[in-house]
Each structure stands twice: as C-alpha cells, then as structure tokens.
C-alpha cells in the first residue's frame, strides 16, 4: 500500500496487510492464465489465498472443500490473523471433529472479490497501477467457484470428496455441483438456496446504500483518499446481523434489557442492550472487512439464480448428476428458510439424484450453522462417513 490508510484502528491496518501478504498459502495465476468472468471480462492476473488442514492422502481422494460465507474467509479452523479469534468453523473442522482433519484434507479458499488475499476490489489493478476500487469487475458466485476450480487444478485435484458450506458457502456448493458435476463426489449445502430471494436482495441493497451514503466511501476510492467508510459499513453490518438471528434468539439474549442503566434516557444513546450489541457488531466488523468487498460479494449473491442459468428449471442444472447431496436447514432461519432447501431437494428428486435432507430444530436463526448444534455435527459426520465409505476411503470417524 502506497497510501496512508485513514484507518481508525491498528486492526484495520493489519487487515490491509492481508490483501497483499496473506497469512496463508496463496497461488498467483499470471496474466496469461486469467479468469474468464460471467460479466464477459477477464480477471488477469488473479490470486487465490487458501488455508489447509490435515493431510492429502496418496490418491488425493480425501479432500473436503470448505466454502465460506459472505463475510467469512479462508481461516476456517485457525486463528484469524486480524482479530486473533478462533476460526469461524472451529466447531466443525479439526481432529476428531465432524470434518475430521485426522482423516480428511480440508481446503478453504478465500473467494475472489474478498479481502484476505484473493484478488478483490482492494487489490492492485495492473492496468492502472492503483487499487481496483470501483473498477473491479462485478463477479458472480460462479466466477468464485471457477477460481476455486483453478486452484484445484493447480493442486492436481480432480475430484473432491465433498464440498461444504453454509449461507453463501452453501450457494457455492450448489454452484459447484451444477457446474463441475464430475468433480464433486458429495455436496453439503447448508442454510442456503438455489437463488437469492427478493427479500434478501432488498436487505443487501440497504447495506450497500449505507456504505455508499458514507462520504468516506469516496465513490469507492477511499483507499487512495486515505479514508474508510467505517460508519456506512458498520450500519450495513448491523442491519445484516439482524437477519442472521431470529426474533426468539434476540428476545432470549436481550429482551428489553437496558444497557448499564436503570431507566431509558429519553435520548438516542444505546439504551437497550440489543442496540449496544449491534453497534459492537458493526464496529468490530469494519476492522476485519473491506467495504468494497462487501459491495461486490453481496452483488454476487444477488445475481445468484441457478435455475435461470439452466433454462428456468432448477432440475436441469443437476440432470445426470452422480453427486451425493446432503442439504441442511434450520427451523428458525428466515433468511434462507427451509422451503428454499426443499425446493432444491425437489429438483434433485426430479433427476433421481442421491439426496439427504435434514431440517434441524434450532432457535438460533440463520447463524445456527456456525454455532454449537449437535444435530448438525451428527449429520455432517454421518454423511461424510458414508461418502468416504462409498468413495472407498478406509476407517470411520467416530462420534466424540
């Protein structure tokens, strides 16, 4: 970075360092190996940063590809280099855990468009010599998946034992299974849908408008201006965070409890605990995430509609598939309700695909996929055991 970032925090400086020099493996694809994009352009050169856990077996058949959600990254099961917090899926990935790293080789790439080392809007645009900013091409989830496929090519992996992810990660799983049928032995899309609903697009638009309304966004050129649209991005995150929870979860956690006071102040301070909580969520988010990445990735999700890419019929996307599917939804998830998963199940039934579908009773809302949900763990473990067995990988992962 040549510019002096107008960051309010040391954490944000650390985060910007990750764009150029990620705390993980990274593959740089030269300009001659650019990535064709759905929008018609070419992303060249491009980089994909990724983390791995466990060991690849001799015939390279034990790889599990983990796709992260909108604001996730490659640090699924290791300390986050910016926040110092445990990985976002430590509950799921590790020795003896459902995605058992004693048995499987786990690969988690950062999506393109992201801000943790894979090429995104805060990367350097080789044509102009400055950061892409708003000149970054609009990407799609299929572009992200295509970049991941290039990473697998680079690593010499033909087929993954499983591809798994929740939310936008689950959408990538569905895209993987539609676009690269032969390369996906099994697929676990969690808390997701085959298209982004109108309501979800609406929420994203609110978030983007909040970012763009912040004068420090500088029409997307905040890095060069030495600024950062922290307030706008924080508001976007606050609004989005509500959609990740459930009414019941919020009520149980906060009710109408007041924050460090006995009565309301008749002002606009954070009187209520829930307000204080959301403000904290917003402010800590901006330390670890790039505002333009937020715009580009939410846009990619909005454009996601697998059926539309296949003549309007979702089942067409999966005709002839041999992939073993396991869909998982949560009862209190109103962002990606069970009905959306069921639609995918019906489409898969229509092509007589091998599909399991589990709806898990939880009051934690959409975020349940990231939390301690024993039934989720049992499902993933059991499904992966069976997939490994049918794939001819020895041993089983016992419940711990």
Partner 1 sequence: MDAPVNPMGLRSADASRVDLLLIAEMVSPGSRVLDIGCGDGALLRILAEKHGVDGRGIELSQAGVNQCVAQGLSVIQGDADTDLEYYPDGAFDYAILSQTIQATRNPRLVLQQLLRIGKRAVVSFPNFGHWRVRTQLMFGGRMPRTDNLPETWYSTPNIHFCTIKDFLALCDEMGANVERAAALNALGTKLRSMPLSSQNFFGEQAIFLLSR
Q: Is 345 exposed, middle or buried (0-12, 13-18, 19+ CB in 10 A)?
A: middle
| Greatest distance between any 2 Cα atoms in the chain | 67
Residue found under tokens 């786990």: 106
**Residue 334's Cα: distance from chain center in Å?**
18
**DSSP structure string for 198-240:** HHHHHHHHHHHHHHHHSGGGGGGTHHHHT---HHHHHHHHHHH
Catalytic residue, from 100, 162, 366, 367: name it: 366
Strands 162-166 and 186-190 come out as parallel
Residue 100 Cβ vs partner 1, minimum distance, rounded to whole Å = 14
Rounded to the nearest angstrom, the gap between the alpha carbon of residue 146 and the centroid of all alpha carbons in its chain is 15
Choose between 148 and 338: whose C-beta lies nearer to partner 1: 338
50 vs 357, beta carbon nearer partner 1 = 357
Catalytic residue among 290, 333, 367, 397: 333
Nearer to partner 1, 131 or 385 (CB): 385
User: Smallest distance from the beta carbon of 58 to partner 1, in angstroms?
Assistant: 24
CB of 190 to partner 1, least distance (A): 13
SS3 254: helix
Q: What would the two tokens of residue 15 be?
A: 């985060």
> Do 26 and 248 form a contact (C-beta atoms < 8 A)?
no
Residue 227 or 324 with smaller CB distance to partner 1? 324
Active site residue 366: yes
For 29, phi then psi, to 5°, come to: -90, 125
* List of residues contacting partner 1 (CB under 8 A): 324, 326, 345-346, 349-352, 354-361, 375, 378-379, 381-383, 385-387, 389-390
Q: Which is nearer to partner 1, 65 or 355 (CB)?
A: 355
At which residue do the structure tokens 């390279």 appear?
A: 60
Name the one residue in this structure whose structure tokens are 């055991």. 385
Pick the closer one to partner 1 by CB: 111 or 328.
328
Would strands 63-67 and 105-109 be described as parallel, antiparallel, or unpaired?
Answer: parallel
- Report the distance separating Cα 40 and Cα 58, nearest Å: 38
- In angstroms, give the least distance from the CB of 196 to partner 1: 23
- The residues carrying an active-site annotation are 167, 333, 366
């Amino acid at each position: 970075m040549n510019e002096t970032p107008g960051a309010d925090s040391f954490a944000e400086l650390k985060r910007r360092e990750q764009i150029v020099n990620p705390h993980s493996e990274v593959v740089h694809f030269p300009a001659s190996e650019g990535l064709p994009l759905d929008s018609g352009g070419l992303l060249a050169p491009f980089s994909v940063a990724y983390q791995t856990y466990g060991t690849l077996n001799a015939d390279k058949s034990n790889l599990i590809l983990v796709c992260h959600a909108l604001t996730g990254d490659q640090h699924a099961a290791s300390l986050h280099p910016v926040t110092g917090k445990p990985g976002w899926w430590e509950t799921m990935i590790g020795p003896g855990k459902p995605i058992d790293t004693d048995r499987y080789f786990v690969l988690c790439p950062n999506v393109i468009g992201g801000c943790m080392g894979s090429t995104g809007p805060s990367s350097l645009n080789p044509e102009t010599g400055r950061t892409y900013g708003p000149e970054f091409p609009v990407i799609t989830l299929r572009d992200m998946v295509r970049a991941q496929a290039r990473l697998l090519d680079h690593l010499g992996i033909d087929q993954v034992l499983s591809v798994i992810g929740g939310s936008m990660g689950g959408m990538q799983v569905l895209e993987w299974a539609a676009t690269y049928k032969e390369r996906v032995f099994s697929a676990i899309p969690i808390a997701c849908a085959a298209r982004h609903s109108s309501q979800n697009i609406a929420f994203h638009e609110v978030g983007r408008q909040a970012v763009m309304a912040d004068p420090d966004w500088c029409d997307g050129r905040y890095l060069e201006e030495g600024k950062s649209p922290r307030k706008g991005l924080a508001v976007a995150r606050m609004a989005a965070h509500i959609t990740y929870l459930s009414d019941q979860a919020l009520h149980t956690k906060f009710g109408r409890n007041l924050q460090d006071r006995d009565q309301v102040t008749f002002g606009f301070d954070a009187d209520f605990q829930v307000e204080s909580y959301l403000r904290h969520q917003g402010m800590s988010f901006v330390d670890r995430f790039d505002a333009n990445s937020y715009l580009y990735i939410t846009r990619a999700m909005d454009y996601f509609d697998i059926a539309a890419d296949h003549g309007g019929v979702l089942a067409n996307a999966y005709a002839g598939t041999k992939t073993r599917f396991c869909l998982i939804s949560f009862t209190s998830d109103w962002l990606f309700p069970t009905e959306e998963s069921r639609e995918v199940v019906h489409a898969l039934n229509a092509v007589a695909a091998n599909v399991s579908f589990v709806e898990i009773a939880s009051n934690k809302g959409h975020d349940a996929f990231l939390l301690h949900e024993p039934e989720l763990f049992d499902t993933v473990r059991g499904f992966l055991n069976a997939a490994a067995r049918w794939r001819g990988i020895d041993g089983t992962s016992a419940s711990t």
